[in-house]
Amino acid sequence: MVAKRNALGRGLSALIPEDLEKEDKNRIEEIDTNLICPNPIQPRKVFEHDKLEELTESIKKYGVIQPIIVRKEDNLYTIIAGERRWRACKSANIKSIPCIVRDIENKNASEIALIENIQREDLNPIDEANAYEYIMERYGITQEDVSNIVGKSRVYVTNIMRLTKLDKFVQEKIVTNEITAGHGRAILSLPKDKQIEITNKIIKEDLSVRDVEKLVRENKKIKTKKVFVKDKYITYVEEMLTDRFSTKVNIQSKKNKGKIEITYSNSDDLNRILEILKIEE
């Protein structure tokens, strides 16, 4: 009943026995939809209305082809995988749904829920990033572990998780498909107020990711010049020499080394300074 998937790393294949399909056929139960609860750690937070309606109509015509997976908790059942099917059944006023009841530990339940959604590739990037972050924080695992669980590269996981550092406004625009994850990554290095400003510009002007990358590079070039504060002693010597020569004197000093610049306005002024220094022409 549960189709085997490819490229899962240590995911489902490590959590479920090889003969699970045969066992599952004998373990399918029809369970009242009112006794079933959503998984509080469901990685997907946004369910697209149109797609849910399509699934509802399909279930009305053909029924639930693939059972959902649940875990029994007291007199209720918590969904491990298949929340969309359960929601569609509720929408279609179907009183019961075929379920496979599994007794597995919480970590495995989280992993299966995560894997099922990601392998179907219908999570938006922000929900996917939050799912990875949740798994890592809750169970103390690394990005490498996550990449093995979901069968994706470490670089992919790292790049997706960086999106959680974006301003919440920007994240919302990625969830609603007003900008892409690529746009989000392009503005990650900017302060959050600047992220919001450029996000609005992306939406208004329909900018490509390349356009945004160019904007970010230009933004980084506009830097406030650092205010260099001279050593008090150097400042004192400058003032003393300026008074001595009656002209501007600048001392550049770094690590006890440097140079003295004495300004003169014409040849007579130069000769005057040389006379003070008692240097013959």
Side-chain half-sphere CA neighbours of 223 within 13 A: 7
Tell me which H or E stretch contains 37: strand 36-37
CB contact at 8 A, 33 and 89: yes
Which DSSP category does 225 fall into?
A: P
CATH topology (fold) of 11-156: 3.90.1530
Average pLDDT over residues 145-174: 88
pLDDT tens figures, 60-88: 888 888 888 888 888 899 887 788 899 89
CB contact at 8 A, 164 and 129: yes
Distance from C-alpha of 13 to C-alpha of 68, rounded to nearest angstrom: 18
List the helix and strand counts (H, then E) for the chain.
Answer: 14, 7
Average pLDDT over residues 254-267: 84
Which pLDDT score, from 0 to 100, does residue 7 have? Answer: 35
Output the average pLDDT for the chain.
78
- Where are the chain's structural domains? 11-156, 170-221, 232-277
Distance from C-alpha of 234 to C-alpha of 178, rounded to nearest angstrom: 56
Q: Point out which residues pair with 251 in neighbouring strands.
A: 260
The type of residue at 208 is S
CB contact at 8 A, 125 and 174: yes
Higher pLDDT, 196 or 275: 196
Positions marked catalytic: 83
pLDDT-derived band at 279, boundaries 50, 70, 90: low
The type of residue at 253 is S
Which pLDDT score, from 0 to 100, does residue 215 have? Answer: 87
Side-chain half-sphere CA neighbours of 200 within 13 A: 6
Q: Strands 96-101 and 257-262, how do they pair?
A: unpaired
CB contact at 8 A, 97 and 30: yes
Q: Point out which residues pair with 195 in neighbouring strands.
A: none
Query: Who's near 97: CB < 8 A, 6+ residues apart?
Result: 30, 31, 33, 36, 64, 67, 68, 85, 86, 89
Q: Strands 249-254 and 257-262, how do they pair?
A: antiparallel
Which DSSP category does 246 fall into?
A: T
Q: How far is CA 67 from the centre of its chain?
A: 33
Radius of gyration of the chain (CA): 33
Higher pLDDT, 130 or 36: 36
CB contact at 8 A, 247 and 264: yes
Which pLDDT score, from 0 to 100, does residue 32 have? Answer: 92
Higher pLDDT, 185 or 258: 185
Residue 102 φ/ψ, nearest 5 degrees: -120, 140
- Which residue has 């103390």 as its token pair? 140
pLDDT-derived band at 217, boundaries 50, 70, 90: confident
Residue 246 φ/ψ, nearest 5 degrees: 55, 35
pLDDT-derived band at 44, boundaries 50, 70, 90: low
